[in-house]
Amino acid sequence: MRRSCVASFVVAGACISAVASGQPSELPPPPLPPPGSEPSSPPPHEPRSAPRAPPRPTRAAPPPYEERIPPASTPLPRRGFQIAVRSGLAVPLGEAVPNRGLGETWSPQLLTWVDVGGKPIPELFIGGYLATGLGGVGDGQACSSCTAYSFRIGAQIQYHFQPANKVDPWIGYGLGWDFSGVFTSARFGRAGSLRLSGPEFAHLMGGLDFRISRVFGVGPFADFALGTYTTADGGSIPDTALHQWLIVGAKFTFFP
């Protein structure tokens, strides 16, 4: 400390004498710092980076149109015209008239059924039906050469639960009119013939459609029909009875 002060006074005196004489003087160099002490320089300034905002969630781009189309193994759902052909066995139940079972007049019949209509939406089918059945007579008919028949016509509605899938379960309801009878061949005349008709006020149906393509499908079905006969051989029946037909078989659908 004392050394630094003495040096300062010496420098100041030299400056004063130089100014007084008008001659420049050479100033002694500044004292060196003591060994072991190095001037500390401030650390270089590092710019602070601004905090990064969290990444915004990005919405995945929709897949190309080709990828949104269901695979070729699953047909697209359809609207518009539809036709189906059913084939099965119809089993008579209940009574044709009071105290006379339907099975005494008709034996089980082979049934062919045609559905014609359209689908305003893929889930709903609205249309009509035609059905014919052929079989033998029941145990109550003493006629070895007789053939029993039936003819049905009506309207129906079906609801399809999975019209865009390969397996499409469905249920339906229909109502219409039933014409049934027994006839003999021409060589035996019309002896023993019988004709009955009446409303079928419920066809409770359901099944599965296996949609093989947009053009064709196939699957099982079942139908439980409730009806009554109101006329016999053109005349009215005073006392009617409830009868049923249980129909099971296969359904072949075009444009399912």
Alpha-carbon dihedral sign for residues 209, 212, 218, 219: negative
* pLDDT range class, residue 229, cuts 50, 70, 90: very high
Average pLDDT, the chain: 81
Give the C-alpha separation, 254 to 115, whole Å. Answer: 10
* pLDDT range class, residue 67, cuts 50, 70, 90: very low
Of 167 and 47, the one with more pLDDT = 167
* pLDDT range class, residue 32, cuts 50, 70, 90: low
Report residue 10 as tokens: 């010496």
Contact predicate 103/139, CB 8 Å:
yes
Contact predicate 189/146, CB 8 Å:
no
* pLDDT range class, residue 50, cuts 50, 70, 90: low
Give the C-alpha separation, 228 to 240, whole Å. Answer: 7
pLDDT for res 253? 97
Please name the residues in contact with 122: beta carbons below 8 A apart, sequence gap of 6 or more: 77, 78, 79, 160, 163, 164
* pLDDT range class, residue 159, cuts 50, 70, 90: very high
State the pTM of this model: 0.68
Q: Does CATH place domain 82-254 in 2.130.10.10? A: no
Q: Give the SS3 label for residue 104.
A: helix
pLDDT for res 139? 72
Compute the radius of gyration of the chain from its Cα atoms: 51
Give the C-alpha separation, 225 to 116, whole Å. Answer: 19
H/E stretch holding 18: helix 2-21
Helices (H), 35-84: 65-68
Contact predicate 75/90, CB 8 Å:
no
Domain ranges of the chain: 82-254
Report residue 165 as tokens: 């899938």
Q: Give the residue from 190, 181, 183, 175 showing the smallest Cα distance to 227.
A: 175
Q: What is the per-residue DSSP string for 31-85?
A: PPPPTT--PPPPPPPPPPPPPPPPPPPPPPPPPPHHHHSPPTTSPPP--EEEEEE
pLDDT tens digits for 56-65? 766 766 655 4
